[in-house]
Amino acid sequence: MNRYTLMASIWLVSGPLPATFELKDPAAEAMAGLEAGEVLEDSEAVAGGARTCSEFSRNRKKQNDAYFSDLTWLISAIGGAGSSSFDPDAMTRWVADYCASHPERRLEEAAAAFRVKS
């Protein structure tokens, strides 16, 4: 048996080497452009408290991503999510009523008014 036959036999017995490949990591790609200490922020979430009540009301009717982002912001700003007595539906109705009465105000003002009321 010559050495080429021996090598081919060993290769056939051991099988082909497993293929290796690398999956792309979109999060790593997004973070690669950031400098140390810089934070990548969701523009909808950042705008949450700065949005006006009229924008909140309009987004509520559309049930769009901005509306749900605002709700998430409101829950975190009000801080009631950890309370057993916190009712997110009641908070949503109260803020919607507040915004209907004060369309020029900002959501951060609505959150502050809700905290005072509670």
Rounded Cα distance, 82 and 52, in Å: 26
User: Tell me, what's the pLDDT at 44?
Assistant: 47
71: in domain:
yes
62: in domain:
yes
Rounded Cα distance, 75 and 90, in Å: 12
| Domains contained in the chain, number | 1
Structural domain for 56, as ranges: 38-118
5: in domain:
no
Sequence length of the chain is 118
pTM beyond cutoff 0.75: no
66: in domain:
yes
pLDDT digits (tens, 9 = 90+) for 58-80: 999 999 999 999 999 998 888 76
Residue 118 exposed, middle or buried by CB count within 10 Å (0-12, 13-18, 19+): middle
pLDDT digits (tens, 9 = 90+) for 1-59: 677 787 767 766 666 666 666 667 666 665 565 554 444 444 444 456 899 999 999 99
